[in-house]
A = this chain, B = another copy of it.
Amino acid sequence: MNTLAEENYLKAIYKLSLAAGNVSTNQIAAELATKASSVTDMVRKLAEKALVNYTRYQGVSLTKAGEKVALNIIRRHRLWEYFLVEKLHFKWDEVHDMAEEMEHISLTELIDRLDAFMGHPTRDPHGDPIPDCDGNFKVSELKPVSSVEVNTAGVISGVRDHSASFLQYLERQQLTIGKHIIIKEVISYDNAVILEMENTQIQISRDVANNLLIAL
């Protein structure tokens, strides 16, 4: 098994890899609120365990094995988030930090039963896909509201920003997962977007439109 610190590194590297290809020491340090020198040390250990590819000064990427571990951590995280919202009735902006703690419980049998108990959910409360026990999940074809044509209709299905403040804002506007919306207009001055939802018009900023994902 891997230590808690190792798991956090693998998760961070996975997350950063989705954007860039090779991940730099500094990026990881920023993500984990630690120092680049600490990252160098840890990345060495992970390379020895064949969980990452690493050559000095060249950045890091996950090996197949490392990716599998990372996806397993993400699976655990998202299943616990689902549990916290669906069973314990926490709000979607409250569960991230709790799940961060619970994701390190790695008994396979426990996680599989938790999964079954909840009916094998495929998405967490923020719309992110939950990998199965082999790390497979269907890649979602979600688009930011800011990227679609006027008059497009879609269903709110995910967010790019997981911060509590963003989620709370969406909640207040009732822009929650599952809601049907139509993009009515983009204000050319500031790129604000006007949506129609349940026969009401809502205006959201460019920033919000960028972080709100819909399925068409």
Contact = CB atoms under 8 A, between A and B. Distances in A.
A107 B101 contact: yes
A88 B113 CA distance: 6
Given A88-B117, A89-B113, A98-B107, 7 more contacts: A84-B110, A88-B110, A88-B113, A88-B114, A90-B113, A101-B105, A102-B105
Interface of A: 84, 87-90, 98, 101-102, 105, 107, 110, 113-114, 117
A127 B102 CA distance: 26
A88 B79 CA distance: 14
Going nearest first, the 8 A-B pairs with the smallest beta carbon separation are: A88-B113, A101-B105, A98-B110, A88-B117, A98-B107, A87-B117, A102-B105, A88-B114
Nearest to A113: B88
Nearest to A97: B107
Nearest to A102: B105
Contacts of A87: 117
